[in-house]
Amino acid sequence: MRIGTGYDSHRLVSNRRLVIGGVGIPFEKGLIGYSDGDVLVHAIIDALIGAMGMGDIGKHFPDSEPEWKDASSLGMLKYTVGIVRMNGFEIAWIDSTVITEKPRLAPFIPEMIRSIEGAGVPGGVVNIKAKTNEGMGFVGRGEGIAAMASALLRKLTEEPL
């Protein structure tokens, strides 16, 4: 088995759509990023890549590559899930937390889980939590949103990475 952790954060800006967990969230601001800025999916990707021992999200999806400009993070996740499978692993569990003061995310969590599963993550292995930062730091001031994720992978074959 392998365990990986991931983290991501992005600034909130006006005139940008807010996408978290592959779901459009009604809000007056969105997250700025080279792709769609989906902090939750980015943290999950980072956790999966980390569990594989293959660096981080920036190594596989660099902001110097035009193909990733405004890309859907769900497409990036689907690609990452393919890497996991090609290396003889399966995703056993993903636990994640999104940290934001606003908007309230609890009503959107079931849809986020379905969206992540739609990108190739097996059903029933994703947990998402939403927390505030109690008014502290950049998240507490409403300047951005952060996410953390842990991923557990199970080896299916004895082939080396």
What are the backbone angles phi and psi of residue 146, rounded to the nearest 5°? -125, 160
Tell me which of 59 and 108 has the higher pLDDT. 108
* Predicted local confidence at residue 160, as pLDDT: 53
pLDDT in tens, 117-132: 999 999 999 999 999 9
Which neighbouring-strand residues pair with 94?
Answer: 126, 151
Residue 157: band (very low, low, confident or very high) from pLDDT cuts 50, 70, 90: low
For the cut 60, the answer to whether the pLDDT of residue 159 exceeds it is: no
pTM above 0.75, yes or no: yes
Q: Per residue in 77-107, pLDDT tens?
A: 999 999 999 999 999 999 999 999 999 999 9
Cα separation, 39 vs 43, in Å, equals 6
Positive or negative, the CA dihedral 34, 36, 38, 41 is negative
- Listed by start position, the domains of the chain span 2-155
Sign for the pseudo-dihedral over CA of 120, 127, 51, 2: negative
Instruction: Give the C-alpha separation, 38 to 57, whole Å.
Output: 13
The CATH classification of domain 2-155, taken from the options 3.40.1010.10, 3.30.1330.50, 3.40.50.1100, 3.40.630.30: 3.30.1330.50
pLDDT tens digits along 32-77:
988 889 999 999 999 999 999 999 888 888 777 777 777 889 999 9
Confidence at residue 118, expressed as pLDDT on a 0 to 100 scale: 96
pLDDT attached to residue 139: 96
